[in-house]
Structure 1
Amino acid sequence: MQAYLRSQLRTIHGGYHQSSRSNTAACSSGFDYAIAYRSHYLIRSSTIHGGTFFEGDLFGCVFGDFPGNLAGVLTVHNAEVLSGIVISQLVRKGTPVVYGSAWTTFDMRQANVVIGAPETALMRIAGAQLARFYHIPSHTIGPDSDSHCLDEQNAWEKFLTLHSAFTSGVNLVVNAGMFATGLTVSFEQLVLDNEMAGIVYRLVEGIEISPQTIALGVIKRVGPKGNFLEEPHTLKYLRSSEHWEPKLSSRCVYEKWIEDGGKDV
């Protein structure tokens, strides 16, 4: 595996020295035991020589590899990520690093790992805060769901995890198109996730406040009982990114929806 990974990087970059100077591949490492690395991590670490940036990730399980409370999980995870960063610098000094956090928890009744829980949303936020504390770029997973189909549970869990990841300021968010605790992927889910990402991205952009955007001039010009529809100012913002345009969501009246076939998403 070690030789294969390094040969792939050399093929992409046209030689070992070229690949060593380029950081276009990610080495994402998880932990099978609490605060312990296994041999597979050392194999992955060796690829850092071949133009890879290191990303410490959490794939452990609450109540097993981690304590049962969230603060305890953060403590163990933080130690694992920071120690992984140290190892990456010993392998190749100056290797770019990412503070990874693939947050999961555990449902004791079902004896199953879950990723769409509110606790994992909280951990996304906490992980982003830790990354900012250390001035390290951050990564997390989302939108995620434990539902096995494209139903309402899928929607609320996806939106919860995506919103928490985006609004926490995470730099890299992955897992679009995946559901069933990350064990299934579909093109339909990818399209739905793209719609949700557009909504959340617009929320993150917020409202721009400036002398131009508060529009006092046009408000005075139109005045009481006036109409803003014919104003150039209205046309300007109609064609801007001020208002998010859905690709899937229905916004028509009921009669039009029925006329178009009454289809759901």
Structure 2
Amino acid sequence: MPLEYHAPVHANSREPAMTERPSRRSGGRDARIAARQAADASRVVRPGLQGGQYRPLSDRDVERIHETALDVLAEIGVADAPPALQSLALERGCKLDPAGRLLFPRMLVEDVIAKAAREFWVYGRTDSRYDVHVGGQRVHFTTAGEAVTVLDLKQRRFRPSTLLDLYDFARLVDRLEHIHQFGQTIVATEIDDPLAHAASIAYACLAGTAKTFGISIGQAENVAPIVDLFDMALGGEGKFTRRPFAVIGCCPIVSPLRFAEDSTAVLMETTRLGLIGDVAIAAQAGATAPAALAGTLVQTVAETLATVMVVNLVRPGHPTTFGIWPFVSDLRTGSFTGGGGEEAILSAAAMQIARYYDLPASVGAGMTDSKLPDNQAGFEKGVSVAMAALAGGNYVCECAGMLASLMGCSFEAMVIDNDMLGMVQRSLRGIEVNDETLSLDAIRQAVDGQGHFLGSDQTLELMQTEYLYPEIADRRSASVWAESGGRDVLEAAHERVHEILGSHYPNYLDTKTDAAIRDRFPIRLAPADMRAACGRW
């Protein structure tokens, strides 16, 4: 039987959301939530700050893109729809054209958009601080990428990524404040068996972090086993669907406008079982989408709406991400380039369109083309991540650790990018303007008194609540920096990586649960590599 999707009202929401069943102990949980919210209010930055301040498109531009995307779905359609999807779609009034392309009537698409889920929750397994509320204009930063290489900074070369790398990235993100969710950063290139790969990836995330996470599953038949693995981690059948701590990533469209057979089947099975499908649609301007940026938005909107249709045809009203990830080509070579201004503006525009639909959305940003965590990586990541966040992206993905146009990932880059994400969050928070912050009395006291504000009551009070301080970026004077060895940000990040990974071996799975999971699934992560005594770091 398919698992059930429970949608009661969450304590912090007026809309139905994925959450746990009511409990006699809910009063205690409500108290913990209230205490957490009070603590959050005193923090300089926190997950879920509001975006939406930046709107690169006019309202009329957005409407024209929407209308043209509906024309694409109704008149051009999407090819290679699996038979099961065709059957569901034809029952709802879709048609097949003479070439077998599935055509979606405008009224049906608009009806599905109107009734689609506006939000969902993903839950921290051990701590409610890690709960992620996806929807509205709440912004969260998450890793992703599924790169096939990892940067060895000392050797300045990339090597094939492994399952052990994924476990280490999960442990690292577990200690980085401004990365709110761990997405699968790399693939385990040494594992060929699909179930072993999926189960080992899921296990590495469970063992490495208490934060919510996202993984990809390549075959539909492996979705249910991974649900069983997650249920085992929580201690009972059905617990994961009632209180999900992970989303299942997939790319169900091959641009331009074709369903990807395996990935579409994964999305349908994920939805059927009541899981959250985290979709990514990445039409590439100038290669698999029009070179005109507006045309790329039209096509990517149409393709992303097609995936919303898939989910709602299988399970009406079930949550999914509006995963609109417009990509860009370097037209001199035809290859993907993630670091340019075109990518930044497309990502921001995509999130503005998602806000127009009021659908929970994800977008790629921070996808530098640089091969090192250097100046190029810094400006390419900073610009695109800030624009996507300020435009209201719910999940800003790929935003930390990625290098080489998504082909590589770096531990040092992850640490550096954590500082950058904190700065972007601070910009999201904005400037509070009220009688107290306008500071008339503070100005008068400084002028009448010491002539500066350094020791004032206001300065001391706001020092830890208004100002964010970086962990890696160096703000010391040049002379102090030189006297202390003159290390650069890469050296500082390298040291921090080794500090965390040399000591942080969390125990998020108890011995009995760990043994049960290993007994049932082909887990390829050796216990000996999950202890500080391994000496790897």
Alignment of 1:134-173 (within 5 A): 134-173=357-396
Q: CA 1:55 to 1:230, structure 2 compared with 1: closer, same or farther past 3 Å?
A: closer
Deviations 1:212-233 (A, max 9, x none): 1112222223334633333222
Q: 2:259 corresponds to which residue?
A: 37
CA shift, 1:18, in A, is 4.9
Distance 2:243 2:258 in 1: 29
CA shift, 1:194, in A, is 0.5
- Contact kept? 2:300, 2:325, Cα under 8 Å: no
- Contact kept? 2:282, 2:300, Cα under 8 Å: no
Q: 2:416 corresponds to which residue?
A: 192
Distance 1:133 1:63 in 2: 26
What amino acid does structure 1 have at the position aligned with 2:463?
L
What amino acid does structure 1 have at the position aligned with 2:390?
T
- Kindly tell me the number of residue pairs found equivalent between the two proteins: 264
- Contact kept? 2:327, 2:338, Cα under 8 Å: yes
Q: 2:311 corresponds to which residue?
A: 88
**Which residue of the other structure, out of 322, 336, 354, is the alignment partner of 1:99?**
322
Deviations 1:126-165 (A, max 9, x none): 1111111111012112222011122221111111111111
Q: 1:123 corresponds to which residue?
A: 346
Deviations 1:10-58 (A, max 9, x none): 3313577555555542343242231110211332121212232234422
Distance 1:30 1:115 in 2: 21
What amino acid does structure 2 have at the position aligned with 1:233?
Q
- Contact kept? 1:57, 1:102, Cα under 8 Å: yes
- Contact kept? 2:287, 2:334, Cα under 8 Å: no
Please state whether the residue corresponding to 2:259 is helix, strand or coil. Answer: coil
Q: 2:225 corresponds to which residue?
A: 7
Distance 2:320 2:247 in 1: 11
- Contact kept? 1:22, 1:51, Cα under 8 Å: no
Distance 1:227 1:150 in 2: 39
Distance 2:436 2:226 in 1: 52
Distance 2:475 2:279 in 1: 42
Please state whether the residue corresponding to 1:149 is helix, strand or coil. Answer: coil
Please state whether the residue corresponding to 2:309 is helix, strand or coil. Answer: helix
Distance 1:64 1:77 in 2: 13
Alignment of 1:216-255 (within 5 A): 216-224=440-448, 226-240=451-465, 242-255=466-479
**Identical counterparts, % of pairs:** 28
- Contact kept? 1:145, 1:157, Cα under 8 Å: yes
- Contact kept? 2:271, 2:318, Cα under 8 Å: yes
Q: CA 1:92 to 1:21, structure 2 compared with 1: closer, same or farther past 3 Å?
A: farther
**Which residue of the other structure, out of 268, 273, 287, is the alignment partner of 1:64?**
287
Distance 2:443 2:231 in 1: 57
- What is the TM-score of this pair, normalised by structure 1? 0.91
Distance 2:285 2:377 in 1: 22
Distance 1:256 1:19 in 2: 52
Please state whether the residue corresponding to 1:140 is helix, strand or coil. Answer: strand
CA shift, 1:64, in A, is 2.9
Q: 2:27 corresponds to which residue?
A: none
- Contact kept? 2:401, 2:413, Cα under 8 Å: yes
Q: 2:499 corresponds to which residue?
A: none
Q: CA 1:172 to 1:126, structure 2 compared with 1: closer, same or farther past 3 Å?
A: same
Distance 1:221 1:60 in 2: 58
CA shift, 1:253, in A, is 1.6
**Which residue of the other structure, out of 150, 155, 177, is the alignment partner of 2:401?**
177
Q: CA 1:38 to 1:236, structure 2 compared with 1: closer, same or farther past 3 Å?
A: same
After TM superposition, the structure 1 stretch with the greater mean CA deviation from structure 2, 63-72 or 184-193, is 63-72
Q: CA 1:230 to 1:16, structure 2 compared with 1: closer, same or farther past 3 Å?
A: closer
After TM superposition, the structure 1 stretch with the greater mean CA deviation from structure 2, 23-32 or 106-115, is 23-32
Please state whether the residue corresponding to 1:68 is helix, strand or coil. Answer: coil
After TM superposition, the structure 1 stretch with the greater mean CA deviation from structure 2, 34-43 or 127-136, is 34-43
Distance 2:287 2:463 in 1: 53
- What is the TM-score of this pair, normalised by structure 2? 0.47
Please state whether the residue corresponding to 2:349 is helix, strand or coil. Answer: helix
Deviations 1:202-261 (A, max 9, x none): 112111101111122222233346333332222101122x12211122222221111011
Unmatched segments (≥5 aa) in structure 2: 1-218, 490-537
Unmatched segments (≥5 aa) in structure 1: none
Distance 1:243 1:19 in 2: 38
Q: CA 1:229 to 1:152, structure 2 compared with 1: closer, same or farther past 3 Å?
A: closer
- Contact kept? 2:304, 2:322, Cα under 8 Å: yes
Q: 1:112 corresponds to which residue?
A: 335
- Contact kept? 1:115, 1:181, Cα under 8 Å: yes
Deviations 1:106-132 (A, max 9, x none): 113233111111111111111111111
What amino acid does structure 1 have at the position aligned with 2:375?
E
CA shift, 1:89, in A, is 0.9
Distance 2:250 2:480 in 1: 48
- RMSD value over aligned CA atoms? 2.0
After TM superposition, the structure 1 stretch with the greater mean CA deviation from structure 2, 35-44 or 48-57, is 48-57
Distance 1:220 1:146 in 2: 51
What amino acid does structure 2 have at the position aligned with 1:140?
V
Higher RCO (CA 8 Å, separation ≥ 6 residues): 2
What amino acid does structure 2 have at the position aligned with 1:185?
C
